[in-house]
Structure 1
Amino acid sequence: MIAMVDCNSFYASCEQVFRPDLWGKPVVVLSNNDGCIIAANKEAKQLAHIPMFEAVYKIKHILIENKVTFFSSNYTLYGEMSQRVMNILETFSPSVEVYSIDEAFLDVKGLSYIDMRMYGFEIKERIYRYTGLPVGVGIAPTKVLAKLANRMAKKIPKHEHVYVMDTDAKRIAALEWADIGDIWGIGRKHVKRLQAIGVFKAIDFVKLPLAWVRKEMTVVGERLWKELRGESCLEFMAVPNPKKAIGTAKSFGQKLPDLGRIEEACAYYITEVAEVLRAQKSCATYIHVAVYTNYHSTIDKQYSNRITVTMPIPTNDTFALIAQARKALHHIYKPGFRYKKVAVNLTGLIPEHYVQGNLFEKRSKISDSNLMHTLDVLNRKFGKTTVSSAMIGTRVEEWELIKKERSPRYTTQWRELMKIGV
């Protein structure tokens, strides 16, 4: 059996944990630069006239009229709260696969001797008691069925956010209940194709001939078909595979015409991705840098460009990566434009112990792993970019994302700890 644990309205729930005055009230979370709504709690979702992914400036008056509290994205808080949830889940199973920031699979096949429904309730209640976050728990024989069980746990009130699909009769009933679009892994294009041949429910899908599924939906569809029939096909990965590429692309809080501030933003983003690179003990062979103006603007001249640089030696050294990214940026930057975004991406990732030297590079240019380790330790202990490259500069507030409504980082910044008056 496999358990799927999913936090309910995760971003909004994280905000409400530290704002008990908002319990039971509509809350939404905004995208980068406070652009649009990307998350909402159940109270906000019940307000049908507040569309998801709509530009905030178009509906801000609606939010205010309906007394909806809105927050800028606080990814530091969400990431730390996610880690707390995952740490709790590890006390319930030795094998936990973190699927996303708010979802995880647990391998519970060795726990057949216990009451699975009570086990699910214990997971739910412990997470809520320790973190204040509500979760749903679905338990079933395969990953796809566990996702479906989780959906039923949250959508059908009588299940109280815990559902165990432990018999074939329950599996059949679940397939009869679920629309084809509810099935994990079946996207919009396949939904339209399946509906065109009369497949509207999950039960209709599993009745299709395997040969047709394999031909029309490839091996991916075949695995889904088998998983829904109770045959486990998707590998359980307690240890995630290393990323094949690591990058970030963020819009500036304001349009930047000068190269200096764009360089500082680029250096900051390189610092972020380099930390992730070192965390998975990899080195990058290539670095891609791109710049963009705002293509939604009707008054600005438009320009974008990108460039790829091959590192002399694959590395995860922040300073070496910044140096190459800076050279790349000088090649593609053109004066006379107001830039909205810079993007960096590291590819050609290889394990750090597989890196070969370069006959034509001096020894001093090879990454200093001890220095990078020291930087990572200090920044983890004292906060992000406590120690960093001088290229980042001191003008972060001039180009960083707009986050006027961001809540404090209650769990990671001493100066932002919650204060309680007596």
Structure 2
Amino acid sequence: MRNDQVFALIDCNSFYASCERVFRPDLAKTPIVVLSNNDGCVIARSYDAKPFVKMGEPFFQAKEKLRRHGIVAFSSNYALYGDISERVMSLIEAMVPGAEVYSIDESFADLTGIPGNLTQFGRDMRAKILRCTGIPVGVGIARTKTLAKLANHTAKRLQVETGGVVDICDPFKRDWVLRNTDVKEVWGIGKRMSAHLEAMGIRTAMDLAKADPWTLRQKFSVVVEKTARELAGTPCLELEEADPPKQEICCSRMFGKRLTEIAPIKQAVATYAGRAAEKLRAQGSVCKRIRVSIRTGMFNPDEARYAQGALVELPYPTNDTLLLTRAAAEAVARIYRPGFRYSKAEVLLLDLRQPGEFTDDLFAVTQPVASDRLMSVLDEINGKYGRGTMHTATVPRTPDWGMRREMMSRSYTTRIDQLWKVR
């Protein structure tokens, strides 16, 4: 890795809440929280809501507090967030030589060789993303990915002073940030690890940067060693422009209400199997096993508890939604027990590989060509007209067991019947 390499981390500010504000300019100065599936708990907060609501706080406990402080709650709208995320990432990729999408709201960028003032370049990126998507971002620039993450943290922490962009390629600026950042704020250092480090006298990011890397490796792990080296300015992490195929694919949801009959549970599992199959085909993989599990609520002392799963071996490596749905239904029939109130189901695809990587014998059954063609048409139609346009007959159009999202905003960018209207 070159010593002159420069990384940037572009991170969307309060991303879910910012997405909600894009099409609701009337909420520009109103604190916002976004809730988890079934409106369970708080999973995102705008900056002005953070002093009043804790992350993960159950919604039913926070209702009165939200009302008292004028905080508006939204159900999670993942279709909207995913679409806006793609727009932000596309803008970033068009402005830099290389980029790595790290999460739905974060992207590392390679700024190596870009001429001129990098701080100004970061401000230009920030202004363009805000102008084209309405999403505010912070930009951290440094010689390593870990330092770029730290610079981004500083840009958000001192947003008024920095304008949302911090460049610590200069050693003096880097050392100031390291000295003024607690070790628990370093990327990859959690609460438990920071407690061990503080017991060794390592309390700031600067302390970790100066610690002996080999001692850290022997006492903790190679990951902590690399983190210390990166803080000291030695690049150890490359930019990963292509995500490796996942080794497992999971689709898991809480039901909108408790289910007692097997028919709606099968419908729900068929829905999850179809979504998992879409993800499987998107990464060009096939699977040989599927595991299905169902369970009741586990925290109500007045309800009987039950949880069970079943593994199904598929007849051949496949990404066929129809075959996976049949296998999932078979698993539900094996593990369902009457007399319980079920709250959640999960579909897990296992033993994933690329086509041709399975070493079966010459006469082994393989996925029919007709199945490949059918799945290709299915994905093409759903890609053009929206997910769920075409699905298996076992999946109802409007299930009564669907997720409870009573405060969900409109899908402004993904559904033509919910486009933004300007009067």
What is the Cα deviation at residue 292 of structure 1? 0.4
What is the Cα deviation at residue 264 of structure 1? 0.5
Residue 22 (1) aligns with residue 24 (2): no
Give 1:144's aligned residue.
146
Letter in 1 for 2:72: T
Residue 12 (1) aligns with residue 10 (2): no
- The alignment partner of 2:29 has SS state of coil
Give 1:134's aligned residue.
136
Give 2:292's aligned residue.
289
Residue 350 (1) aligns with residue 353 (2): yes
CA distance in 2, matches of 1:412, 1:380: 11
Task: Check 1:160–1:264 CA distance in 2 against 1; reply closer, same or farther (3 A cut).
Answer: same
Task: Check 1:407–1:358 CA distance in 2 against 1; reply closer, same or farther (3 A cut).
Answer: farther
Pairing 1:260-339 to 2, within 5 Å after superposition: 260-339=263-342
Residue 178 (1) aligns with residue 181 (2): yes
- The alignment partner of 1:110 has SS state of coil
Q: Among 198, 204, 209, which residue is 1:206 paired with?
A: 209
Residue 369 (1) aligns with residue 372 (2): yes
CA distance in 1, matches of 2:100, 2:80: 21
- The alignment partner of 1:138 has SS state of strand
> Which segment is superposed worse, 114-123 or 207-216?
207-216
What is the Cα deviation at residue 285 of structure 1? 1.5
Give 2:408's aligned residue.
406
CA distance in 2, matches of 1:40, 1:364: 46
What is the Cα deviation at residue 367 of structure 1? 6.6
Alpha-carbon contact 2:22-2:134 (below 8 Å) kept: yes
What is the Cα deviation at residue 262 of structure 1? 0.4
- The alignment partner of 2:8 has SS state of strand
Residue 38 (1) aligns with residue 43 (2): yes
Task: Check 1:42–1:363 CA distance in 2 against 1; reply closer, same or farther (3 A cut).
Answer: closer
Query: Deviations along 1:28-87, whole A, 9 cap, x unmatched?
Result: 10011001111010111133xx22211111120111121111000000000000000000
What is the Cα deviation at residue 234 of structure 1? 1.0
Query: Deviations along 1:347-377, whole A, 9 cap, x unmatched?
Result: 1110124356677776776771111111111
CA distance in 2, matches of 1:286, 1:367: 21
Letter in 1 for 2:128: R
Alpha-carbon contact 2:80-2:413 (below 8 Å) kept: yes
CA distance in 2, matches of 1:92, 1:353: 37
- The alignment partner of 1:199 has SS state of coil
- The alignment partner of 2:313 has SS state of strand
CA distance in 2, matches of 1:19, 1:358: 59
What is the Cα deviation at residue 286 of structure 1? 1.3
CA distance in 2, matches of 1:292, 1:363: 33
- The alignment partner of 1:271 has SS state of helix
CA distance in 1, matches of 2:342, 2:370: 32
Letter in 2 for 1:122: D
In the alignment, structure 1 segments of 5+ residues that lack a partner are none
Alpha-carbon contact 1:320-1:367 (below 8 Å) kept: no
Query: Deviations along 1:272-321, whole A, 9 cap, x unmatched?
Result: 11111101000112111100000112222110001111211111111111
- The alignment partner of 2:147 has SS state of helix
Alpha-carbon contact 1:315-1:367 (below 8 Å) kept: no
Cα root mean square deviation, aligned: 1.5
| TM-score (norm: length of structure 2) | 0.96
Number of equivalent positions: 417
- The alignment partner of 2:85 has SS state of helix
Letter in 1 for 2:135: L
Letter in 2 for 1:321: L
| TM-score (norm: length of structure 1) | 0.96
Task: Check 1:154–1:394 CA distance in 2 against 1; reply closer, same or farther (3 A cut).
Answer: closer
> Which segment is superposed worse, 55-64 or 203-212?
203-212
What is the Cα deviation at residue 210 of structure 1? 2.1
What is the Cα deviation at residue 177 of structure 1? 1.0
Letter in 2 for 1:400: G
Alpha-carbon contact 1:317-1:367 (below 8 Å) kept: no
Query: Deviations along 1:78-120, whole A, 9 cap, x unmatched?
Result: 0000000000001111311000000000011121x22101110
CA distance in 2, matches of 1:129, 1:363: 50
CA distance in 2, matches of 1:269, 1:388: 12
CA distance in 2, matches of 1:367, 1:122: 50
Pairing 1:149-228 to 2, within 5 Å after superposition: 149-156=151-158, 157-228=160-231
What fraction of aligned residue pairs are identical, expressed as a percent? 40
Letter in 1 for 2:414: T
Task: Check 1:17–1:361 CA distance in 2 against 1; reply closer, same or farther (3 A cut).
Answer: same
Letter in 2 for 1:385: G
Alpha-carbon contact 2:210-2:232 (below 8 Å) kept: no
Give 2:101's aligned residue.
98
CA distance in 2, matches of 1:129, 1:393: 40
Letter in 2 for 1:410: Y
What is the Cα deviation at residue 122 of structure 1? 0.8
Letter in 2 for 1:207: K
- The alignment partner of 1:420 has SS state of coil
CA distance in 2, matches of 1:91, 1:307: 46
Give 2:3's aligned residue.
none
Alpha-carbon contact 2:296-2:342 (below 8 Å) kept: yes
CA distance in 1, matches of 2:383, 2:200: 54
Alpha-carbon contact 1:181-1:188 (below 8 Å) kept: yes
Task: Check 1:367–1:220 CA distance in 2 against 1; reply closer, same or farther (3 A cut).
Answer: farther
Alpha-carbon contact 2:14-2:46 (below 8 Å) kept: yes
